[in-house]
Amino acid sequence: MIELFRRSYMAIIGISLQVSVSLTLAGLVESGQFYEKNGVAIDGYDPVAYFEDHRAVKGRPSFSSVYQGSVFHFSSPAHLAVFVEAPERFAPQFGGFCAYGVAEGVKAKSEGEVWEIVAGKLYLNYDSTIQRKWIGGKEVFIRAAEASWPTVQTSTAVHP
């Protein structure tokens, strides 16, 4: 009886693994909706800290939440609680990809320390050089990024 149970259990585990691998290979298992570095959105920076502390602050894995399939880290339980109440208020625009890149029609990585809040929305950039370009024409770039985001969002290629 125990041997029968063990065989059934092993068969279920085997089938589960096969289904999981098949779905992954078929592209049906997706990562989250945000740019992730090291498996975490915004490379682990606390999205609430940009608004509340006015600086980039690394979050801790012990204070985390999943939003649209991506894991976000927070520096405090208070920031976690605020995010859970209204994640769309704090989540970065354009999936956390470089806002300038999106305006140019490409998905590009972003750095959590290169950011700006414009009209109550968080925008991330590729690096400080790109951010200088971004700041010089951010209103135009925001409009261009909003127009191109529906197409860019579906792209699987990410500029490193």
159 and 114 belong to one structural domain: yes
- pLDDT band of 156, cuts 50, 70, 90: confident
- pLDDT band of 75, cuts 50, 70, 90: very high
End of a domain among 45, 65, 87? 87
55 and 72 belong to one structural domain: yes
Predicted confidence at residue 14, as pLDDT, reads 40
Asked whether residue 12 is assigned to any structural domain, the reply reads: no
The residue type found at 55 is R
> What distance in Å separates the CA atoms of residue 73 and residue 144, rounded to the nearest whole number?
29
Asked whether residue 57 is assigned to any structural domain, the reply reads: yes
* Nearest C-alpha neighbor of 144 from the set 89, 92, 106, 96: 106
Asked whether residue 17 is assigned to any structural domain, the reply reads: no
Q: Is the pLDDT of residue 73 over 90?
A: yes
51 and 109 belong to one structural domain: no
56 and 41 belong to one structural domain: yes
98 and 158 belong to one structural domain: yes
Asked whether residue 19 is assigned to any structural domain, the reply reads: no
146 and 110 belong to one structural domain: yes
Asked whether residue 1 is assigned to any structural domain, the reply reads: no
| Domain extent at residue 131 | 92-160
Q: Helix 128-136 and helix 138-153: axis angle, to 10°?
A: 120
Number of domains in the chain: 2
100 and 152 belong to one structural domain: yes
Q: How far apart are the first and last CA of the chain?
A: 55
124 and 144 belong to one structural domain: yes
107 and 60 belong to one structural domain: no
Question: Which single residue is written with the structure tokens 């529906």?
Answer: 150
Asked whether residue 67 is assigned to any structural domain, the reply reads: yes
- Tens digit of each residue's pLDDT (9 = 90 or more) over 20-36: 333 333 333 346 899 99
* Nearest C-alpha neighbor of 112 from the set 33, 40, 31: 40
Return the H-helix or E-strand segment holding 73.
Answer: strand 70-74
Count of Cβ atoms closer than 10 Å to residue 98 Cβ: 28
- Tens digit of each residue's pLDDT (9 = 90 or more) over 89-127: 999 999 999 999 999 999 999 999 999 999 999 999 999
End of a domain among 44, 62, 87? 87
78 and 101 belong to one structural domain: no
